[in-house]
A = this chain, B = another copy of it.
Amino acid sequence: MDHHSPSLLAALAAVVGDAHVLTGAQDTAPYVAEWRGHYPGIARAVVRPASTAQVSRVVRLCADAGVPLVPQGGNTGLVGGSTPDDSGREIVISLGRMTALRRVDPLDNSITLEAGCKVLAAQQAALECGRLFPLSLASEGSATIGGILSTNAGGEQVLRYGNTRDLTLGLEVVLADGRVLDALTTLRKDNTGYDLKQLFIGAEGTLGIVTAAAFKLYAQPRRTVTGWVALPHPQAAVEILAMLTDAVGERVTAFELLGREALDQVLAHPLDGMRDPLGGGYPWAVLFDVSETSASLDPSGAVEEVLGQALERGLASDAALAASGRQAQEFWSLREHVPEAQRLQGPSLKHDISVAVSAIPAFIEAADTALRAAMPGIRIVCFGHVGDGNLHYNQSKPLGMEDAAFRARAPEIHDIVHGIAAGMQGSISAEHGIGRLKQDAFMRHKSPVALDLMARIKVALDPDGVFNPGRVLPLARRTALGGTP
């Protein structure tokens, strides 16, 4: 196919402009590896269309030439889903120039914007009309609308507002043959046939290229009660969550668990002002936000009552409510500093699992036991969105172990953790997707029936494998099943 290349690139340049077909190593560098430098690849070119019509023409040209396209947003992914492989065959299609805010409507509680818009820009546009765009994640200054849709991103407020999928009202998508699916409505109800937009959310760019989207907006919270609670065990976290939900309903906006090792690592490398809100000595902590949108109602009393009951019932050994926005920030900075603190401890193994919320304690018990048996002294850095049943269940090497020896045992450790999650009907990738990184575990733990249906969907929508081939479903798998539906 390489003989097509010069004329293909010329044709692409005719569509998007010479300046937006990048081929030099320096120009393409930001697009061919993930932001942490992982998954370095080689792109035949990086193409930067400025409109849906241009995306459509780019897709048609590449489909006709049999050249695969790798859609890319802010390139903040973690699983190798948005960068080219090392074949030099793939063309990266970056949506970064498509940043129009098409419409924001406070009466309709909706916002419609293009795929290249940053998440932060969506939040700001909503705020300017007195509404909340509730998706919030660490990478929000770089992550784009197209990226959060393609990965069904979660983040810090899923408990209250849901994942990206739950926030999505409509999509505009360029299909594998260049046609445009216009499902860009802001309707709250529409039962006319299959809900096609669902197919493209979380598909990691393998079924279509999202060019624009409409999302729900919410009321802005007027006040937030942030609390830090010391707990004897993870079961207490699950029970306090239920008590809080009972008392203040959907106002529980975030509910995060932190294990002692995670806290110790953070406090071993404190940034300025970081300290344990409760003086330390307890095995587990919960950090929560309860937010209230009504100016005239204050949930603090109800929250304090729950904490009082938790102390009485032995579910908590101590608790503090942030006395100011600044103190709330300090509580949260402890949580947010965990990944960086763990990095300073040397190599780490990471898992992004989910189980039913009520199964969190059993998961931790089983996984801790199995890992300590497999590797005495292993340090378990357990934290995450327990309100969503989602743990970042990570490991640091035992003190004194060689880095290489620890890394060599990664497959075994991953297998233990994923096997326990899967055995509890859990997920081996709650937030981050499959991409290339988790494909082996995905193929091993997903049911053959589910994998077969996914392959059928892929063939039905992208029969020639134009979009992000080999991501999510491996190439061989897709080809093997290509003819069956």
Interface positions of A (Cβ within 8 A of B): 105-110, 130, 151-152, 154, 158-159, 163, 165-166, 175, 179-196, 198-199, 201-203, 207, 218-219, 238-239, 241-242, 245-251, 292-299, 301-302, 305, 354-359, 385, 388-390, 425-434, 438, 442, 445-447, 449-451, 453-454, 456-457, 459-461, 463, 472-473, 485
Residues of the B chain whose Cβ atoms lie less than 8 Å from the Cβ of A187:
354-356, 389, 425-427, 430
Which residue from chain B places its CB closest to the CB of A153 in the assembled complex? B191
CB atoms of A188 and B388 under 8 A apart: yes
Residues of B within 8 Å of A191, CB to CB, are 151-152, 202, 427, 429-434
Q: Considering only CB atoms, which chain B residue lies closest to A214 in the complex?
A: B356
Q: Closest chain B residue to A301 by CB distance?
A: B296
- On whether the beta carbons of B294 and A299 are closer than 8 Å, the reply is yes
A193, B434: Cβ atoms closer than 8 Å: yes
Contacts of A445 in B (CB 8 A): 192
Which residue from B185, B238, B390 sits with its C-beta under 8 Å from A107?
B238
Given contacts A194-B202, A305-B296, A485-B463, contact A108 B175 (CB under 8 A): no
Q: A305-B296, A447-B182 are in contact. Are A429 and B194 (CB under 8 A)?
A: no
Closest Cβ neighbor of A169 among chain B residues: B356
Given contacts A152-B191, A442-B192, A460-B456, contact A180 B294 (CB under 8 A): no
List, in ascending order, chain B residues with CB within 8 A of A207's CB. 194
Q: Which of B248, B295, B429 contacts A293 (CB 8 A)?
A: B248
- Cβ–Cβ < 8 Å partners of A432 in chain B: 191
A202–B251 alpha-carbon span in the complex (Å):
29
A447 to B173, CA, bound (A): 13
Are A189 and B158 neighbours in the complex by a CB distance under 8 Å?
yes
Q: Given the known inter-chain contacts A202-B194, A456-B461, please indicate yes or no for A188 contacting B449, CB distance below 8 A.
A: no
Contact A219 B249 (CB under 8 A): yes
Q: Complex: how many Å from CA A447 to CA B170?
A: 14
Q: Which 5 A-B pairs have the closest CB atoms?
A: A249-B293, A198-B198, A190-B427, A460-B460, A107-B358
Known: A356-B186, A473-B193. A460 touches B463 (CB 8 A): no
Question: Which chain B residues border A359 with CB–CB below 8 Å?
Answer: 108
The reply to whether B297 and A453 contact each other, CB–CB distance below 8 Å, is no
Q: Are B356 and A181 in contact (CB under 8 A)?
A: no
Instruction: Say whether A247 contacts B295, CB under 8 Å.
Output: yes
A185-B356 contact, Cβ under 8 Å, with A299-B297, A429-B191, A472-B193: yes
A464 to chain B, nearest CB (A): 11
A474 CA / B441 CA spacing, docked (Å): 40
For residue A247, which residue of chain B has the nearest CB? B294
* Chain B residues whose C-beta falls within 8 Å of the C-beta of A296 in the assembled complex: 247, 301-302, 305
Give Cα A460–Cα B250 distance, bound, in whole angstroms: 39
> Once the chains bind, are B193 and A195 in contact (CB under 8 Å)?
no
Task: Return chain B residues, CB-CB under 8 Å to A354.
Answer: 187-190
Highest count of chain B CB atoms <10 Å: which of A110, A207, A250, A390: A250
Q: Report 30 cross-chain contacts, Cβ distance below 8 Å, ordered by A residue.
A: A106-B242, A108-B357, A109-B245, A130-B246, A151-B191, A158-B189, A159-B188, A181-B450, A185-B426, A186-B425, A187-B425, A189-B385, A190-B430, A191-B429, A191-B431, A192-B434, A193-B442, A193-B450, A194-B202, A194-B453, A196-B450, A196-B453, A219-B249, A247-B294, A247-B295, A297-B298, A297-B302, A457-B457, A457-B460, A459-B460
